[in-house]
Structure formats: structure tokens, C-alpha cells
Chain A
């Protein structure tokens, strides 16, 4: 038995952290879906399993439903889908759409009952609500089954840390139920919990900070009781990079800028840089340059410099002002920019505002007389 295990396509996903490139990110998820089906056809699997959360929400545009159904219908064999917690089988759900019935190879499994699949039996665990504390796999009992038994579920496997676990699945669900393979969805990164219990992860990364996402799994099981062989196939289209940079010395901002410039595939890259530490006033131009590069070059980018401050000991530029109101103002702002400053502050003179005010003053001086 060869099957393709995928999940969490999250079609119609919201991408508010990528600014005006959100449509591009959404379109990339559908493109990745096509690559997944291409992989299924290319790998000559017997069938495809989609382990929930095909859609981000049941209220997504119906055009997307039709598009996804058409993409899935492109597979030569049967495709089995279960509703997940983002698209549960409820009234008015995406699964009511006529597109599913229009394609003979698409099987939306909305009831927890065994289904014969090529080479074995499939035990689907559809979800009917966004929130639930029931184990969707509890009903499965394949211990007496002679054929290869595959479970298809969506939920949170016990033992993985999460604040509010939804749809919990017992850690030993596959063993207890007598399954040869439990295809899971919910977690966006590829994770093999044991030899038979596997999260495929999302086929396309959904945000910064995900590890090992953007894959589908080709699973091969020789016979009932045999250990599955799992092969991840990369289908992701976008690269989500997130850098945390601590600046301490003069010139380090220039180094960061140089690393950014070295990224070649910026047409497929989203970049987030969080800067912290202190920098000399003279490096302010590098900071501005970094911001420009990130904003202009990549699919989406963001520079968070709220934790980056002008070096407090760097007062040379202020000293150059000579005695007078401006130098006195620069001195006071430097005091207020220090979070540890214990003296009186005028209204609104938070360290962040004072820090920004210093930068503004520096910029005015740097521009020179005009």
C-alpha cells in the first residue's frame, strides 16, 4: 500500500503579518496543493489522505472550495478527506458544496465508520465542531482486522505542550486501536510521534517560526503489521526567515545588512528581523538601509527595532552642538531614553519616545543646514 498523507492546507488562510503580500501567500498555498497532487501522481500512490483543515474556515469563498476540489480531482486515484477543527462538518460547511459530489474520486468522510480503501481499511475520524475535548479516534477498533488498517484523524496528540488542547488524541491511539498507520493533522510541522503515528505538517509554511513545514508524506506499508516507510516530499513554495539580531558594536548593523543582501531567492522569501541592543549614532544610516532593503526586496518583510537604542555613551554628536538649548535638550533626552533613569520625566517622555526623539534630533543635525 502506498499512500500520500497531507494535512492543514488552510486554504483561504489569513496572513495579516505579511502586509500587502497576503494574497500572494494565499495563492501560494493553492499552488503548493497542486504540487502535492503532482507528487501523489508522480509517486504512484494508491490513494491520498487529507487529515483535516483543508480550509482555514467554513466561511471561505466558495470559489476556493471549487478550486481545491478541482486540484484534488487531478489525482488519478481516490482521495479521502476528513473535516478538521477549522472546517468541521457542521451546517453550511465547505463540505456541503456540490464540488465534492461532482468528482467521483473525492470522498469526504463525515461519519466515523470504516471505509474500504485500495489495499486495506480506512478508519476516518471527522470533526463536527471547532472545539471539543473528545478523542476523535476513540471509536476505532481495528484489532480484529486482517487488512492493513489506516487511521485518519485531526487533533492534538497528548504529550505535545499546548495551552488549551482541542480534540485530544491519546498518545497510544494507533497501538490501542490496532492501526498500521495513524495519519494525523493539526500541527503544521512534520512530526513522527512513533513509527505509526505521524503528523505530515502543512504542505506550505504558514508563518515565521515554523520548523520542517512545507511537506507531504509518501507512506508505504507492505502488509498488515509492517512498519510504515515514510518519505517527506517538499512542496512548500515560500521561505519564511526570522532573524533575531542583538547589536552591541559599531559595524554590526552593517553586517546584518550584508547578510540580507546575500539572500538570493528573495522573490520567494519572507523576512522578519528583530533588532535589539545599542548602536552608535553614526550607524543610523545602516539601520535605515536595512529597513529599506527588507521593505523593498522580499515577498514580505518587517524590521522591529523597538528594542534597539542609541548608545547612551555616544554623546559626541550632541557635544558638537555647542552650549545652548539644543545641546541641553539632547542631554535631557538621553537621560529619559535610559529605562533605568530614576529622575523626573515630563509627560509622555517614555524611554521609547525619548529614544525616538534623540534619533529625530540626530537626523535633523545629520541633514545639516538647508
Chain B
């Protein structure tokens, strides 16, 4: 595609129609100052060729001239694949789009609205934006051909259709045109089976028939396995039935054998039972005879034993009866000894009472002496205390008579007095004071001050006058005098302080015998002396009393006196002989010793009595025991007599012995019979009865087992019948046959798939190798162009096959590659220009293509720019190049270039 003309109207700075054209098929240079609208024209080309005319929103609104409510409109005439077209688009207001093709010298409408948008986009391989205006990534081939303002570097083309388009363009050169449809069919055949991205076999609705065959095969295999399982079950049931049948027969045989064993065992068990019964009878006879003999023998033995015991008892009774008188004597002697011990004890008790009475007398005397002594001691103490009390009270009375202020009050009086004196002195000092020491008599008249009035002055009698705040007097014949102090407010406060001190002094000295402080001081000193004396007397009293009080001492003294008086009432004789109690009190230790001696004897006598009493009790108990034993012997003799009578009965000893001998004979005969039967029984090893039971149990068990086996057999036969009725083999036939057919069909189909994949991949590999072999010349062309621009070879340009991005510059095999970010800004834009031109040449194989360079190469120096101009002139033979620049001079010398002055075009409008 190449442009022929472009007209814009109502478009950013172009409010009025502006037309650029007709453009040359080669190099076109559109120049103008900054802001002239060069990039606006490029934008109009993009929107006119690539964007939806119905686009709205802020980006579309921005197309309008600022402050005007116009409809942006662009008309582009262009050539594509040998035809001339015109597209007109109006945005925002009454939006419309129309594509016309020139036919017979006239543009005829080809498509409109969205259809027009779409057709034009497809010519450039562009894609519609999802919303809003298109971005570079939507531009299709124009991404390579058109360099936006100042940006020669290619965008990331990895995920766009551009690389494929470039490859396709390159492929044209390496493939025979006649094989294209073959490859298309191969591709269609391959992609009918395999996915495009991962090359996996398709699934779901688009899956090849093989998937259906495999699904059916899987289902048939499942059915086959189920029927195979039934057949296996059938075989298993047959084996089970045969096994059970054999088991049942074996059990039946075992059962018959067991029955025979049981019959034999039952016969022997009957025989054993009879013998056992006979054995029991003989044994019973034997045991009965033994019992009878034993009973009689026991009676005989009992009679003998009783008779022997009776003799012994009779001897013992005789011994007890002989010992009875001695035991009575012994008891009498013990009673006498006990009475004597008691008598001695009583005598000692009487002596102890006497001794106790004597010591009570002595103790009373001692108590009387003590009470009397205590009373006398207390009387002496009380006398001393009362003396001290008298002294103390005397000093206290003296103190009270002095009428002196107490010490704190006196200190307050002194303080008040001192404060008044200080106030007075300061008041005197503050006022006017005149001391006149007359040398002769005269008169003075005080007109202001104190003492006021007239008074005579006499020599030798100085007189003082005071005035406050001034003192005025007149000395007749001399003159009038006035003295004043400076006005000072503190005089009042001093006076007030003085009054206060005086009032306090008067209050404190109220009631005192004098207000003379010195007299009061003397009174105070006398009072202090009296107080010291009083305290000394009190200390003396406290020393006498200690913790006691006078009252308590008196009460104590009275109590002792009362106690002594009470004893005297009991012993009035001691009042007459006061020494007697003292004497008696001195005997108290002896009296106590005497009482203790009697107590000791009394204790020994009590022990002797207790011992005698115990001996007497022992004798008493022995006597009573002896009596009880005699009684018991007598009772035993009576009992033995009764028992003997019962045992002997009416039979005498001779008959009893005869009976015993007869029973012994009978017993021996029964014993022989029993032993004979026992020996016969012992012929059997054991009782056959348990074996009979065991065999019966075994037989029952066999019957049960056979019944169970037959039951199982019935179940298995029923199951087999059901399985056979299902005829699994016949049911399996069509399934196995279908599986075999499916497997063959699947194998054939898989072979076909594998073959198509191998064919496709091989062809793709060959194509890729071919494309790679062609991309190399593109790299060579870019390398060559870059070398021409630089004036020397800087390295080989390497492109990424997938994204077409410039990977690096391979400088030399021995040096490391140069990354793009290592190039200068000028070289960077130059290498991208070389790549764009090389790719544009590839894309222009079929038809001439438009290359747009909007304000690029700004970092290129003049020398290299001159070489670029030559290259552009050469490229203009195959490409249409639209250069937009603000500096015409930079491209002035491009041969055969057509120049458009945008400023002039705008002014011409």
C-alpha cells in the first residue's frame, strides 16, 4: 500500500480542510515548524486507515480542534495491489466510513461503515482494538513500516501476526507456488487431527473418528471383561460343584463308617453298664456288712472306754474328798491374818490423824506470827509516806501563795513587754524629739506636740518634747520653733503595734499582784524554788511507795491485822502470851517430819493388808474350784452310768462278742464278691459310654456337614444354572468380534495419524529450514545498510526469528556480541532504521509499501545523515517513504524527493 493524498478537516489544529498530495511513489518529505501539524497528519493517516469510525470517548474527543464542536474528518487516497482506493471517515458527529475503489476513472463505493473499516484494516493485516482508538500493537504490518514520532525501535512483535506475515512473505520466495495448495491440504489434514498449539490429538467435538473408535473399544473391552468374568465364574462354579460333589460323597462314606463304629461302641457300652451295675450291688453289700460290723465293734469299744473312764473318775472323787478339810483350814488362817493387818492399819491411821492435828496448830501459829509481822512492817512504811506527803503539800501550798504567773505565761508577759518596748523605742525614734537642757530658766510653750502647753524650763533639768509629725514650740523672746519629720506611714503601724503589745501585756498581767516585770520576775523565781521543793518531796514519796499507793498500803496493813485478829479469836491465849506462837512456829519442821514418818508406816501397813486380802481371796478361789471339780466328777460319773446303761442294754458281754464275730464273717464274704465284680469291670480299658457319645457327636457333625455341603451344592448348581442360562460365551462372540475389528480399524487409523503427523512435521521442518535460510539474507541486508550508514562495518545484525527484534550485533567470531544498549543513541536509531528498511523490502516483494519516518534520526550526525539520504533515495525505488521533519535542510539533498511545506499548505488554505 502506498498513499496518494490525504485531506483532514476539523482535526486538532486543522479546523479547516488541509490537503497534502499528490504524494510521490518514492520519497516524500513533509516539513514544517514545531506545532505545524506533522504528527497530526500521521495520526490522521493511522485513524483513517486503522480505526473504527464509531469510536467515541475521550481519545476520540481529543481529535477535535480545541474549543470547537467540529466533526474530525479524514480522506485518504491510496493504492493497494494494483487498485486505487479512497477511504473517508468522519468521527464523533454523524460518524461514517466509506471505502471507494477507482473504476473507469471514477471512485465507486466498495464498502461502508464497519465493513469499510474492516476491509482497509485487512489490507494492512491490522487488528481492531477491543475498545477506544488503536494502539501500535494493533497496526499489523504498519508496526514494521511506520515509525511513530521519534521511535525507530521495533515494538515487541512476538505475539502478533507480523512475524508470520514476514515469514509468509519470505516463504513465497522459497516455495514453488504450485505446492502451496498441497501444503494447505496437508495442514488441514493435520489440524483436523491435531491441535495447533500443542500438536496433541484433538478431543471433544472436533476429535477425529479415532477417538470414537477408541471410546467404543474401551466400552467393548469393558463388556468383554465383564463377560469373561462371568465365564470365569462359570468355570469356578463348575470346579466348586465338582469339589462339593466329591466332598459330599466322601462325607457319605465317612458317615457310613461312623455308623458302624457307633453300633459296636453301643454294644460294648451296654455290657459295661451291666457289669458296672453288678459291681455297685456287690459293693453296697460289702459296705453294709462293714458298717454293721463297725457299729457293733464301736459299741463294744465304747462300753470298754466308758468303764475305764468311770473308774478314773471315782478315784479322782476320792482324792478330792480327802483334801477338803485341809483346804477349809487354810481359808480360816487367811481370814485371821487379814483381820490382823486391818487392825494395824487402823491404829496407824489414828496416829497419823493425831500428828496432822499437831501440825495444824504449829502452822496456825506460824501464820499468826507472819501476819503480825506484816502489819508492823506496813505501819512503819505508812508513817514514812505520810511524812513525805506532808512535806510535799507544804511546798505546794507555798507555791500557791506566791500568785506568780506560771512559766509559759511569764514568758509571754516578757515577750509582750519587750515587743511594746521595741515599738515604743521605734515610735520615739520616728517622731520629732527635742531635748532641751536649759541653761537658764525660761518658759516654753508647746503649740504642737507633747507635752503641750506652756511650761517653765529650768537649768539642770533637761526636758524632752515630742511631736509627731511635727513639734512646734515657742520660746518667748527667742522665737518660735517647728520641727517636722518626713511624712511616713509606718508611724501608724508602729503605734498600732505598740497598742497591741500593751493590750496583750495588760491581758497577761490581769489578776497578778503586780505589773512590774522585774517584780514578776522575782515572783517567778520564788515560785520555781517552791516547785523544785515540791517535786523533791514527791520523789521521796514515790521512793517509799514504789508501785504501791498509800490507800493500798493501808488496806494491806488492815488485812494483815484482821488475819492476826481472827487467829486470836481462835486462840485468845496467844494474846496473853505473845511468845507462844513464835515458839510454836519454830517447831513446824519437826511436826512435818513426824507426819511423814506416820504416813510411811501407814503405806506399808496398807500394802500388808492388801497382800493378806489377796492371799485370802486365792485361798477362797482354790476352795471353790475344788468344790466345783468334785461336783463335775460326780456329774460325769452319773452320766457315764447312764451311757453304759444305754450301750449295754439288755445284752451281756458274751452275747455281744458272739454277734461281733458273726458280722465279721458276713463282711469278708461280701468283700470277696465285690472284688470279683470289680476285676471283671477292669477288663474294659475305659467306660465305652463317652466314646459312644463322641461317635454320636461325630456322626451328627458329619450329617450336618453333609447337609451343609448339599446346601452349598444346591446353591452352586443354582448359580451355575443362572450363569449358563445367560449364555456368556454366545454373548461374548459379537463383542470379541467387534473388538477385533475395532483394533484393526484403530491400528489403521493410528498409522494414518502417525503418517500425517510425520509428513506434516517433516514438511514444517523443511519449511522452517528454508525460512531460516531466507531470513539470513534479511539480516545480511540490514547489516549492509547499517554498515553503509556508519561508513564502516560495525557488526552483523542478528534478528530473533520469533519476534523479529534485533538481538545483538555480532562483531566478530572472536569477540563478544554487542548488545543494543551498548550502542550510542545515534547508532541505536540507525541500526533500527536499517532493520525497518530491510524488513520493508521483504514486505514490498509483492507490492510497494508505505514507510513512515516521523521526526526520527534526530541523534544522527550530518555525515551519517548524508549516507542515509542516499539510502532513502535508493529505497524510494521500491518503497514509498514519507519523511516528516521540522528541518527541510536535513533531507534537502535526497535525490528525486518531493517536498511539502506544511506551513505553506496551511497558509494557502
A-to-B contact residues, CB < 8 Å: 12, 14-20, 22-23, 26, 56-62, 64, 90-92, 321-326, 328-329, 332-333, 336, 346, 348-349, 352-354, 356-357, 359-361, 364-365, 367, 369-370
Cross-chain contact A328 with B737 (CB below 8 angstroms): no
Q: Is B281 an interface residue (CB 8 A)?
A: no
Q: Is B222 an interface residue (CB 8 A)?
A: no
Q: 10 more A-B contacts (CB under 8 A) besides A360-B759, A364-B185? A: A19-B741, A23-B734, A59-B724, A324-B179, A324-B766, A325-B767, A326-B179, A336-B758, A346-B758, A353-B751
A314 to chain B, nearest CB (A): 17
What A residues does B728 contact at CB under 8 A?
Answer: 59
Q: How many residues of B contact A (CB 8 A)?
A: 52
What B residues does A349 contact at CB under 8 A?
Answer: 758
Cross-chain contact A62 with B724 (CB below 8 angstroms): yes
Question: Of B179, B740, B761, which is within 8 A of A322 by CB?
Answer: B179
Cross-chain contact B733 with A356 (CB below 8 angstroms): no
Which residues of B643-658 have CB atoms within 8 Å of chain A's CB atoms?
A: none
A358 to chain B, nearest CB (A): 8
Cross-chain contact B182 with A356 (CB below 8 angstroms): no
Alpha-carbon distance between A20 and B189 when the two chains are bound, in angstroms: 29
Question: Given that A20-B741, A333-B759, A364-B182 are contacting pairs, would A26 and B770 also be in contact in the complex, using a CB cutoff of 8 Å?
Answer: no
Q: Can you identify 29 A-B contacts, CB atoms within 8 angstroms?
A: A16-B736, A19-B737, A22-B733, A57-B729, A58-B724, A59-B231, A59-B729, A60-B729, A61-B731, A91-B720, A92-B723, A321-B179, A322-B178, A323-B176, A324-B179, A324-B766, A325-B763, A326-B175, A329-B759, A329-B762, A332-B766, A333-B758, A333-B762, A353-B754, A353-B755, A357-B755, A357-B759, A360-B755, A367-B185
Question: Of B183, B242, B730, which is within 8 A of A91 by CB?
Answer: B242
Alpha-carbon distance between A353 and B717 when the two chains are bound, in angstroms: 54
Cross-chain contact B182 with A22 (CB below 8 angstroms): no
Question: Of A12, A16, A332, A369, which is within 8 A of B178 by CB?
Answer: A369
What A residues does B120 contact at CB under 8 A?
Answer: none
Cross-chain contact A322 with B176 (CB below 8 angstroms): yes
Question: Of B242, B727, B737, B751, which is within 8 A of A22 by CB?
Answer: B737
Question: Of A12, A90, A354, A359, which is within 8 A of B730 by CB?
Answer: A12
What B residues does A328 contact at CB under 8 A?
Answer: 766, 769
Question: Given that A12-B730, A14-B737, A92-B724 are contacting pairs, would A357 and B762 also be in contact in the complex, using a CB cutoff of 8 Å?
Answer: yes
List the count of A-B residue pairs having beta carbons below 8 Å apart.
Answer: 148
B750 to chain A, nearest CB (A): 9
Q: Is B756 an interface residue (CB 8 A)?
A: yes
What B residues does A12 contact at CB under 8 A?
Answer: 729-730, 733
Alpha-carbon distance between A73 and B759 when the two chains are bound, in angstroms: 63
Cross-chain contact A64 with B241 (CB below 8 angstroms): no
Cross-chain contact A324 with B733 (CB below 8 angstroms): no
B272 to chain A, nearest CB (A): 48
Cross-chain contact A326 with B238 (CB below 8 angstroms): no
Question: Of A14, A59, A325, A360, which is within 8 A of B756 by CB?
Answer: A360
Q: Which 9 A-B pairs have the closest CB atoms?
A: A325-B766, A356-B755, A59-B729, A61-B730, A16-B740, A369-B181, A357-B755, A61-B727, A57-B729
B762 to chain A, nearest CB (A): 4
B-to-A contact residues, CB < 8 Å: 174-176, 178-179, 181-183, 185-186, 189, 231, 234, 237-238, 241-242, 717, 720-721, 723-725, 727-734, 736-737, 739-741, 751-752, 754-759, 761-763, 765-767, 769-770
Q: Chain A residue with minimal CB distance to B736?
A: A16
A7 to chain B, nearest CB (A): 20
What B residues does A360 contact at CB under 8 A?
Answer: 189, 752, 755-756, 759
Cross-chain contact A325 with B741 (CB below 8 angstroms): no
Q: Chain B residue with minimal CB distance to A336?
A: B758
- Where chain B touches its partner, the secondary structure class is helix
Could you say which of B178, B183, B729, B762 has the most chain A C-beta atoms within 10 Å of its C-beta?
B762
Alpha-carbon distance between A136 and B721 when the two chains are bound, in angstroms: 28
Alpha-carbon distance between A22 and B231 when the two chains are bound, in angstroms: 21
Question: Of B178, B720, B730, which is within 8 A of A60 by CB?
Answer: B730
B495 to chain A, nearest CB (A): 136
Alpha-carbon distance between A353 and B760 when the two chains are bound, in angstroms: 12
Question: Given that A59-B730, A322-B179, A324-B174 are contacting pairs, would A352 and B751 also be in contact in the complex, using a CB cutoff of 8 Å?
Answer: yes
Question: Given that A329-B759, A348-B758, A353-B754 are contacting pairs, would A16 and B182 also be in contact in the complex, using a CB cutoff of 8 Å?
Answer: no
Alpha-carbon distance between A64 and B724 when the two chains are bound, in angstroms: 13
Alpha-carbon distance between A58 and B721 when the two chains are bound, in angstroms: 12
B866 to chain A, nearest CB (A): 42
What B residues does A59 contact at CB under 8 A?
Answer: 231, 234, 723-724, 727-730
Alpha-carbon distance between A354 and B759 when the two chains are bound, in angstroms: 8
Cross-chain contact B238 with A91 (CB below 8 angstroms): yes
Alpha-carbon distance between A63 and B736 when the two chains are bound, in angstroms: 20
B731 to chain A, nearest CB (A): 8
Cross-chain contact B242 with A325 (CB below 8 angstroms): no
Cross-chain contact A329 with B763 (CB below 8 angstroms): yes
Cross-chain contact B752 with A356 (CB below 8 angstroms): yes
Alpha-carbon distance between A92 and B722 when the two chains are bound, in angstroms: 10
Q: Chain B residue with minimal CB distance to A90?
A: B238
Alpha-carbon distance between A57 and B736 when the two chains are bound, in angstroms: 15
Alpha-carbon distance between A23 and B738 when the two chains are bound, in angstroms: 12
Question: Of B186, B242, B758, B767, which is within 8 A of A364 by CB?
Answer: B186
Cross-chain contact A64 with B182 (CB below 8 angstroms): no
Question: Given that A20-B741, A325-B175 are contacting pairs, would A357 and B720 also be in contact in the complex, using a CB cutoff of 8 Å?
Answer: no
What A residues does B763 contact at CB under 8 A?
Answer: 325-326, 329
What B residues does A62 contact at CB under 8 A?
Answer: 724-725, 727
What A residues does B183 contact at CB under 8 A?
Answer: 325-326
Q: Chain A residue with minimal CB distance to B762?
A: A329
What A residues does B717 contact at CB under 8 A?
Answer: 91-92
Q: Chain B residue with minimal CB distance to A325?
A: B766
Could you say which of B234, B725, B755 has the most chain A C-beta atoms within 10 Å of its C-beta?
B755
Cross-chain contact A92 with B238 (CB below 8 angstroms): yes
B759 to chain A, nearest CB (A): 4
Question: Given that A14-B737, A62-B727 are contacting pairs, would A357 and B758 also be in contact in the complex, using a CB cutoff of 8 Å?
Answer: yes
B242 to chain A, nearest CB (A): 6
What B residues does A353 contact at CB under 8 A?
Answer: 751, 754-755, 758
Q: Chain A residue with minimal CB distance to B230?
A: A59
Q: Chain A residue with minimal CB distance to B244?
A: A91
What A residues does B186 contact at CB under 8 A?
Answer: 361, 364
A87 to chain B, nearest CB (A): 10
Alpha-carbon distance between A157 and B295 when the two chains are bound, in angstroms: 99
What B residues does A58 contact at CB under 8 A?
Answer: 724, 729
Question: Given that A16-B737, A60-B727, A324-B175 are contacting pairs, would A357 and B238 also be in contact in the complex, using a CB cutoff of 8 Å?
Answer: no
Cross-chain contact B238 with A332 (CB below 8 angstroms): no
Cross-chain contact B730 with A15 (CB below 8 angstroms): no
B842 to chain A, nearest CB (A): 18
Cross-chain contact A92 with B737 (CB below 8 angstroms): no
Question: Of B724, B759, B765, B770, which is within 8 A of A324 by CB?
Answer: B770
What A residues does B754 contact at CB under 8 A?
Answer: 348, 353, 356-357
Q: Chain B residue with minimal CB distance to A26?
A: B733
Cross-chain contact A359 with B242 (CB below 8 angstroms): no
Q: Chain B residue with minimal CB distance to A18?
A: B737
A330 to chain B, nearest CB (A): 9
Could you say which of A18, A332, A353 has the most chain B C-beta atoms within 10 Å of its C-beta?
A353
Alpha-carbon distance between A324 and B174 when the two chains are bound, in angstroms: 6
What B residues does A346 contact at CB under 8 A?
Answer: 758, 761-762
Question: Of A18, A90, A326, which is within 8 A of B766 by CB?
Answer: A326
Alpha-carbon distance between A360 and B183 when the two chains are bound, in angstroms: 12
Alpha-carbon distance between A333 and B80 when the two chains are bound, in angstroms: 41
What B residues does A23 contact at CB under 8 A?
Answer: 734
What A residues does B733 contact at CB under 8 A?
Answer: 12, 14-15, 22, 26
Question: Given that A321-B179, A356-B754, A370-B185 are contacting pairs, would A361 and B759 also be in contact in the complex, using a CB cutoff of 8 Å?
Answer: yes
B224 to chain A, nearest CB (A): 11
What A residues does B741 contact at CB under 8 A?
Answer: 16, 19-20
Question: Given that A14-B736, A22-B733, A60-B730 are contacting pairs, would A91 and B237 also be in contact in the complex, using a CB cutoff of 8 Å?
Answer: yes
B179 to chain A, nearest CB (A): 5
